[in-house]
Amino acid sequence: MAEMSYRTALVTGATSGLGRGLALWLARRGLRVFAAGRRVSQLQALAAEAQAAGATVEPVELDVTATDATLERIRALDGECGGLDLVVANAGVGGVTHAKRLQWERVKAIIDTNVTGAAATLSAVLPQMVERRRGHVVGVSSLAAFRGLAGHGAYSASKAFLATFMESLRVDLSGTGVRVTCIYPGFVKSELTEKNNFPMPFLMETEAAVDRMGNGILRGEGELYFPWQLALPSRLLKVVPNPLFDAAARRFR
């Protein structure tokens, strides 16, 4: 694929963690970055940090679960900036959804953000990118997408949806000039993972994970998995027979 130059980017879920780090990483490399999220004060702090480094980050108040407003806002940004080159659907939430104590409210909250919100974010600008014959859409899935993790059915399923959605987009958009990347992080230090009360093998520092994401995006990689120590067994689990997987999952739980 031909090299692509990036001028503008939108990153959702930019108030903390990977989204915040990636927004700053891209801005420091000369992109005009629209950092989207619900917590405006944290976005403003990010913008100030970027400005101090001579970079440009513009806060965008956005709740991806409000899909009509999300579509309208992203399309408006696309028009205002002369076309978004890069859109990263990073906003995501987690939480326990154990089948023995299943709460629809928790399941719905995960689906609204990780599935509906992500799909709306990517759908908002794809037609314009195809028309311009340039652009790049990125979905941040998870290594949890490969099998249904014990106690986290809604989260695993939501990330599996995004992975499959991105795969279909990649196939459909071949030859259009629009790039598609799906990222599968493992455990990364963030607000999301600090709430976990279970072992997190090969936990990565945020900065190291962001660097891998940023470089993978700019290289135009179709898929990106990290850390390899967790990515390899996670992918192999896909072909493990159900009885073996179920027994292992129960022990981990």
Query: Beta-carbon neighbour count of residue 11 at 10 Å?
Result: 32
The span from the CA of 138 to the CA of 181, in Å, is: 5
Q: Which of 145, 160, 136 is nearest to 214 (CA)?
A: 136
Q: Which of 107, 218, 238, 102 is nearest to 163 (CA)?
A: 238
Is 184 tagged catalytic?
no
Q: Which residue has the tokens 């940004």?
A: 77
C-alpha torsion angle, residues 28, 30, 34, 39 (rounded to 10): 10
The span from the CA of 78 to the CA of 81, in Å, is: 6
Q: Which of 48, 50, 73 is nearest to 60 (CA)?
A: 73
> What phi and psi values does residue 175 have, to the nearest 5 degrees?
85, 0
- Among candidate residues 6, 155, 184, 225, the one labeled active-site is 155
The span from the CA of 36 to the CA of 10, in Å, is: 7
- Burial letters for 12-24: b for 16+ Cβ neighbours within 10 Å, e otherwise? bbbbbbbbbbbbb
Residue 222 token pair: 């179709």
Give the residue numbers annotated as catalytic, written as ranges: 155
